[in-house]
Structure 1
Amino acid sequence: MVCGAALAALTAVPAQARDAERSAPHWEAKDTGTTAVRFRGLAAVSRDTAWLAGTGGTVLRTTDGGDSWRNVSPPGAGDLQFRDVEAFDARRAVVLAIGEGEASRVYRTDDGGATWTESFRNTDPRAFYDCMTFFDRRHGLAMSDPVEGKFRILSTSDGGRSWTVLPDDGMPAALEGEAGFAASGQCLVSAGPKDVWLATGGAARARVLHSADRGLTWTATDTPVPAGDPARGVFALAFRDRAHGLAVGGDYRPDQASPRAAARTGDGGATWRPAATPVHAYRSGVAWLPHSRTAALAVGPTGTDLTTDGGRTWRTVDTGSYDTVDCTPDLGCWAAGERGRVARLESGTGMWVLGR
């Protein structure tokens, strides 16, 4: 497990000297070759391989740690807004385009983006798909904002090659104005073979919905993250197992404060506790650090926050703008955002200390 003390070097005090700063984990920018695309979709496969999905129907892929990027965008997708990408390896990936009606689509590739197949196109003008997640290489879900008063769930059992709308009998009623936020591809996340969580906002209360049977039945729980406005709520979730999760969000408007915009759970989302020291501003993405029980990163347009105590306290460690973050078991963490920004977490001396 990544030692919290080593990660805390991100915020080393001046007395700890320049050597500590050089060896501390830090974001290292990777040139994607574009400043015109906002990447809210990110799938980290390894330290070498990552997929990006963004505005203008753009999909990029790297297999050399970000030294070079290949534009593998689906043909004819220039008018679409990709907000989520889920990748199984360097060749197989699924991307989600958001929007009302037919703007919501899913594409899949099996050859590294050389060719794509459109596997779903929404034909219901009331639906607006936000996020998707996969339990394994075959089984996955996508979620839409409420239709007829309930969140709509789309299911696949063949790796995203085909999709079916699930019955909504087991879905609780949505609150007035409640919706998901397509800000980072992390409003729908899973852990293990069957557990999945859905983050909401825009209503009087910000909630997290949990299903333990791949989306057939759900329970809804209030979180302490402030809501009460269409721009406020929980924007991103991360679960390191089926019990321990983090929620971040706030108010995405840059002129509005985002107090109490972080929460944690230790019981699979049945209850949520506010962070004693929350993230310092609106955060749209969150990820547990590899092999750690206590360390995680949260990102947003104004910076990156770090927790080393399981979400009880957070502190800002970087002021760069990122929308989404994702980590891999081989100690690879990636972040992406506006103006083509992409970075990988690096350490000057390779300092990833393992321990409890």
Structure 2
Amino acid sequence: MRFLRVAAVAAGGLLVLSQLVPAAQATGGPSYRWDVTPTGSTAQFRGLSAVSKDVAWIGGSAGQVLRTVDGGKHWQNVSPAGAETVQFRDVQAFDAHRAVILSIGPGTDSRVYRTENGGKNWTETFRNTDEKAFYDCIAFNDKSHGLALSDPVDGKFRIAATSDGGKSWKVQPNAGMPAALPGEFAFAASGTCLVAGPGRTAWFATGGGDRPRVFRTFDGGRNWTVADSPMASGEAAGIFSLAFRGPLFGVAVGGDFLKPTEAVKAASVTYDGGRTWKLVPADKAPKGYRSGSTFLPPSVSRSLTTVIAVGPSGSDVSRDGGRSWTQFSDGNFDSVECGGHGTQAGCWASGAKGAVARLVVGR
């Protein structure tokens, strides 16, 4: 059902996770709040890429793309000309000047654009011509290698790959892709249904079938394995977002898009790179459907295991790697992402009615 999409740890394991999280940290630590930065737009921004505390890009409805280079004090409209009818649901920015954006939809509505001059000019580098395909998310391992994920075509999810930073894309053979379940698809809700890890690793998550699943690759998208998830699934339910720290330690969040204030089997964690997933109990899970998630940089949270999840009914923080969550905001956001290193690191959220905010951490 496509109404939503259209409208580390190096050693891994529970032992390593517990070593990273002191007992006191699971219940204490910094406080968090969102500082809203007015954009002057009313678009819904599900596409988000955080470069640093000062630089961020957002993509949304009505073909809008905005950029800030001063921490949200000013937002510049850098939308591609002639793209007013498409919805940009994912953004991958490499710095203040270079970015790749994905528009979603059936057939030719799924496109990729690229800029090297801060959005002054865009080049369309991919346009889907298969009416059966519907691209949801993009993710990059580095500045050269990236993947784009489409819903199943002829019974299998489709992957397009780039090795030149998004200048060109090639649809991959599907021989190494497991068969999709009846009704299974990915959610173009926040740009995090597909995420990339170290080397050539990547994961994508699904819903819509009789159970949600997580697919993983170790060779840049040519071959995939798949694992069942204990989270809820259904016509509008499943895993909406993945976040990984390293090759083994990951978090999945989701729920039911049509029940935004309910959190039924809405979060899970993995310690083995997505081979197995453990459900977060209802009393420790986020307080509603969540569409986006991200690990915080250690320089922001002073921890390797702090995760934030956002959704229409609020934002939650987990200080223990996703095992338990606490709501800290009731604001409406669709996407969240962190970027940068050291003192330049920063985290951003975006959502409906032009909403964009920067994370403020209290010590």
| Both proteins in one fold, TM over 0.5 | yes
Q: Which amino acid aligns with 2:226?
A: A
After superposition, where does 1:1-356 map in structure 2 within 5 Å?
A: 5=25, 8=28, 24-34=31-41, 36-227=42-233, 229-254=234-259, 257-276=262-281, 277-291=284-298, 292-328=303-339, 329=341, 330-347=344-361, 351=363
Amino acid at match of 2:91: V
Shift of 1:167: 0.3
- Structure 1 residue 331: deviation in Å? 3.1
Partners of 1:326 and 1:344 in 2: CA distance: 10
Q: 1:254: Cα distance to partner?
A: 3.5
Q: Which residue of 1 aligns with 2:6?
A: none
Partners of 2:260 and 2:313 within 8 A in 1: no
How far, CA to CA, are the matches of 1:222 and 1:315 in structure 2?
26
Unpaired stretches in structure 1, ≥5 consecutive residues:
11-23, 352-356
String of CA shifts for 1:1-24, please: whole Å, max 9, x gaps: 9998499456xxxxxxxxxxxxx3
After the TM superposition, which of the residue ranges 254-263 and 123-132 deviates more from structure 2? 254-263
SS in 2 for 1:338: coil
Work out the CA distance in 2 between the residues paired with 1:339 and 1:174. 34
In structure 2, distance between residues paired with 1:202 and 1:161: 32
* SS of residue paired to 2:353: helix
Structure 1 residue runs of 4 or more that deviate by more than 2 Å after TM superposition: 1-10, 254-258
CA offset at residue 257 of structure 1?
2.9
Distance 2:152 2:322 in 1: 30
Whether the 8 Å contact between 1:231 and 1:253 is mirrored in structure 2 is yes
1:102 is paired with a residue whose SS is helix
Structure-2 separation of matches of 1:314 and 1:253: 22
- State whether residues 36 and 356 of structure 2, in contact with CA within 8 Å, keep that contact through their aligned partners in structure 1: yes
**Letter of the structure 1 residue corresponding to residue 327 of structure 2:** T
Going from structure 1 to structure 2, the CA distance change for 1:256 and 1:127 (only over 3 Å counts) comes to same
For 2:260 and 2:267, locate their aligned partners in 1 and report how far apart those are by CA, in whole Å: 19
Offset, 1:279: 1.2
- Whichever residue aligns with residue 149 of structure 2, its letter is M
- Structure 2 length-normalised TM: 0.89
- SS of the aligned residue for 1:39 comes to coil
Q: Is the 8 A contact 2:263 2:285 kept in 1?
A: no
Q: CA RMSD in A?
A: 1.7
- Measure how far apart 1:258 and its partner are: 2.9
Deviation string 1:128-177 (CA, Å, 9 cap, x unpaired) is 00000001101100000000000000000110011000000100000000
Structure 2 CA distance for aligned equivalents of residues 295 and 120 of structure 1: 36
Quote the Cα distance in structure 2 between the aligned partners of 1:306 and 1:100.
35
For residues 138 and 224 of structure 1, the distance between their equivalents in structure 2, rounded to whole angstroms, comes to 34
Structure 1 residue 72, shift from structure 2 partner: 0.0
How many angstroms does 1:256 deviate by? 7.1
Contact in 1 for aligned 2:26/2:320 (Cα 8 Å): no
Partner of 2:17: none
Aligned residues: 334
Separation in 2, partners of 1:103, 1:8: 46
1: distance between equivalents of 2:21 and 2:285? 22
Q: In structure 2, list runs of 5 or more residues that go unmatched.
A: 1-19
